[in-house]
């Protein structure tokens, strides 16, 4: 019986795509590089901002320019990450319902830890008591380490925990952690991607999560 739900953040609880794209393109244009479309950025998100900037820059960009671009991105994003970012439709009601039924919740994200904690505390603090993002102290997803750390903080066990995310990184993370994965079809990847990676369940709306939890 499931008693714990661990969520991804970007593309799962929050639509962060426009703010991420704006900051990516601000950094690229500041250094004279071609900007990226929102759909291009969509497919780059999920593995960390380091990966995001690596993919956004032209192939062969040297490390000094990469470092400059990453720094510009992070500075800009810190000041602008709430311009257009908002919870997906029905997410707040879903979190309220999950909490009311007594499930424990956490967020595990490859977004930098400081940004992850700030957004979760500000937007979901009433429902989600613990969040962890990427840092130098613990391997990032798809390694299972952050998931295990979150379960430890919640006093949970992998036999009663489910992972909810929207990307192939999330599916692989859940498999590496030995957890069932619920794939979110409203996020940054399509059904085919999540099916091909082997998501255990797929939902089209946050409101469908409760029934999945009851039947796992």
Query: What pLDDT is recorded for position 171?
Result: 97
CATH number at residue 54: 1.10.150.240
Could you list the residue range(s) of the whole structural domain that residue 55 is in? Answer: 17-80
Domain count, the chain: 2
Helix (H) or strand (E) holding 108: strand 104-112
Question: 193 and 131: one domain?
Answer: yes
User: Taking a C-beta distance cutoff of 8 angstroms, is the pair 106, 6 a contact?
Assistant: yes
The last residue of a domain, from among 80, 99, 133? 80
Give the model's pLDDT for residue 117.
Answer: 97
pLDDT by residue, tens only, the chain of 216 residues: 999 999 999 999 999 999 999 999 999 999 999 999 999 999 998 788 999 999 999 999 999 999 999 999 999 999 999 999 999 999 999 999 999 999 999 999 999 999 999 999 999 999 999 999 999 999 999 999 999 999 999 999 999 999 999 999 999 999 999 999 999 999 999 999 999 999 999 999 999 999 999 988
Pairwise CA distance, residues 116 & 82, whole Å: 12
* Residue 22, CA distances (Å) to 46, 48, 52, 80 in order: 16, 16, 13, 9
**According to the model, what pLDDT value does residue 156 have?**
97
pLDDT at 193: 94
Q: Does residue 143 contact residue 127 with C-beta atoms inside 8 Å?
A: no
Which pLDDT value is given to residue 46? 77
The pLDDT of residue 47 is: 81
Indicate whether 203 and 179 sit together in one domain.
yes
Give the largest Cα separation in the chain, rounded.
Answer: 54
pTM: 0.94
- Looking at the structure, tell me whether residues 138 and 148 fall in a common domain: yes
- Same-domain pairing of 101 and 125: yes
Last residue of a domain, which of 28, 45, 80? 80
């Amino acid at each position: 019986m499931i008693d714990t739900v661990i969520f991804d953040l970007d593309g799962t609880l929050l639509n962060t795509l426009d703010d991420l794209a704006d900051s990516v393109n601000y950094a690229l244009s500041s250094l004279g590089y071609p900007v990226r479309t929102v759909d291009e950025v969509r497919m780059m998100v999920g593995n960390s901002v380091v990966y995001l900037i690596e993919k956004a820059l032209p192939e062969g960009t040297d490390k000094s320019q990469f470092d400059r671009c990453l720094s510009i991105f992070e500075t800009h994003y810190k000041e602008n990450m709430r311009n257009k970012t908002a919870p997906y439709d029905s997410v707040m009601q879903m979190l309220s319902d999950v909490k009311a039924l007594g499930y424990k919740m956490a967020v595990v994200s490859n977004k930098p830890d400081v940004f992850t904690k700030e957004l979760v505390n500000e937007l979901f603090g009433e429902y989600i008591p613990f969040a962890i993002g990427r840092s130098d102290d613990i391997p990032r997803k798809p390694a299972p380490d952050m998931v295990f750390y979150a379960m430890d903080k919640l006093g949970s066990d992998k036999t009663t925990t489910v992972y909810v995310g929207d990307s192939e990184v999330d599916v692989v993370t859940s498999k590496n952690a030995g957890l069932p994965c619920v794939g979110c079809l409203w996020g940054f990847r399509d059904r085919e991607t999540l099916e091909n990676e082997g998501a255990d369940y797929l939902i089209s709306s946050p409101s469908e999560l409760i029934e999945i939890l009851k039947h796992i």
